[in-house]
């Protein structure tokens, strides 16, 4: 925004325009009578009339947008995370996703129709799998809940980006397929060269490889469920106190996509790919999804898929 058009200042009425000072700068200092001060512990996004901090009756609103922007779960002037409010918020989000399924399904079907047409035109190899365990993605993303989640920005449904799938396929190829061969053998070197050509290389000479892996989307909106971590020694981890059985557990809830609908992705060859490269990479990707899983907490069994039947 240019200096001559004024600025925006948050207050109890939301984001309102503020008249510029002489010289073009927005005025500062104490709010005027026409511009009341912000309520303690509140932020402009939560000042909609009737909103009390709980996600209820939002109809077909974008669930991902609500999760990312409406998490009013802080107390004491935004200095402390309120565990009870956080748990209630997550339950509201899961309920909201169920309420938005009817409106979301046609949009999701349209996305799959467009992607199928693209894949057919580009000679891509489709991969169709079914979650065999709860799926969680985006835990490390920055979020007010301290636990993120990956949402499609437009549809508000969980998804896994293609970069995550490509990394999972490459890691599986290196740590399982290559590792199964004898060291310094011609077979191992041939596999290493093939996987670098397919999935790219890191280091001094980075390469993106000769295939493009598309994002993994559910065919129908999945059911969202709450799962829990239950650390028993929070003072030990957070404050350096000695661990002991006198510490109370502190449950931490997070969202997961429950097993259920089929999920679809595809491996598209680039102009550098040889015939059969896309099918080969798709086979490796399907093995990675069914053997090692993808997303967060795969060491605990999350994110494992089965081949769709």
What residue spans define the domains of the chain? 109-307
Backbone angles phi, psi at 253, to 5 degrees: -90, 150
Please state the separation of Cα 178 from the chain's center in Å.
30
Predicted local confidence at residue 107, as pLDDT: 95
CB 114 within 8 A of CB 122: no
- What was the pLDDT predicted at 34? 47
**Contacts within 8 Å (CB) and 24+ apart, 147-155:** 147/252, 147/254, 147/255, 149/64, 149/67, 149/254, 149/255, 151/63, 151/64, 151/65, 151/67, 151/68, 152/64, 152/217, 153/64, 153/65, 154/62, 154/107, 155/62, 155/64, 155/104, 155/107, 155/108, 155/111
Nearest to 171 by CA among 272, 295, 307, 263: 295
Question: What pLDDT is attached to residue 32?
Answer: 43
Q: What is the pLDDT of residue 5?
A: 37
* Residue 297 φ then ψ, to 5°: 60, 35
Q: Name the stretches of the chain with pLDDT < 70.
A: 1-58, 72-82, 204, 309
CB 208 within 8 A of CB 268: no
The three-state DSSP-derived secondary structure of 52-116 is CCCCCCCCCCCHHHHHHHCCCCEECCCCEECHHHHHHHHHHHHHHHHHCHHHHHHHHHHHHHHHH
Which single residue is written with the structure tokens 């709450």? 226
pLDDT 10s digits, 146-169? 788 999 999 999 999 999 999 999
DSSP, collapsed to helix, strand or coil, labels residue 117 as: helix
Pairing outcome for strands 263-269 and 211-213: antiparallel
| pLDDT at position 243 | 83
Written as one string, the DSSP assignment of 242-273 is PP-TTSPP--EEEEEEPS-S-EEEEEEE-TTP
Contact 264, 112 (CB under 8 A): yes
């Amino acid at each position: 925004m240019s200096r001559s058009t004024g600025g925006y200042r948050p207050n109890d009425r939301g984001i309102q325009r503020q008249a510029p000072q002489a010289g073009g700068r927005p005025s500062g200092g104490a709010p005027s009578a026409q511009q009341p001060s912000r309520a303690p512990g509140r932020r402009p996004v939560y000042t909609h009339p009737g909103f009390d901090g709980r996600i209820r009756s939002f109809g077909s609103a974008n669930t991902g947008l609500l999760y990312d922007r409406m998490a009013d779960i802080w107390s004491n002037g935004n200095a402390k995370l309120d565990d009870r409010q956080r748990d209630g918020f997550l339950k509201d989000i899961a309920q909201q996703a169920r309420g938005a399924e009817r409106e979301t399904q046609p949009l999701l079907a349209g996305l799959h129709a467009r992607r199928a047409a693209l894949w057919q035109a580009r000679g891509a190899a489709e991969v169709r799998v079914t979650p065999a365990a709860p799926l969680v993605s985006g835990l490390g993303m920055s979020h007010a809940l301290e636990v993120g989640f990956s949402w499609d920005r437009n549809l508000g449904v969980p998804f896994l980006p293609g970069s995550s799938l490509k990394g999972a396929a490459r890691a599986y190829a290196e740590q399982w397929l290559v590792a199964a061969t004898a060291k310094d053998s011609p077979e191992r070197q041939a596999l290493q060269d093939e996987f670098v050509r397919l999935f790219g290389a890191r280091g001094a000479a980075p390469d993106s490889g000769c295939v493009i892996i598309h994002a993994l989307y559910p065919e129908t909106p999945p059911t969202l469920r709450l799962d829990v971590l239950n650390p028993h020694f929070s003072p030990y981890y957070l404050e350096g106190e000695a661990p002991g059985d006198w510490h109370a557990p502190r449950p931490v809830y997070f969202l997961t996509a429950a097993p259920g609908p089929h999920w679809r992705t595809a491996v598209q060859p680039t102009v550098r790919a040889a015939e059969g490269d896309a099918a080969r990479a798709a086979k490796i990707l399907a093995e990675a999804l069914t053997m090692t899983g993808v997303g967060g907490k795969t060491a605990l069994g999350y994110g494992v898929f089965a081949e769709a039947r």
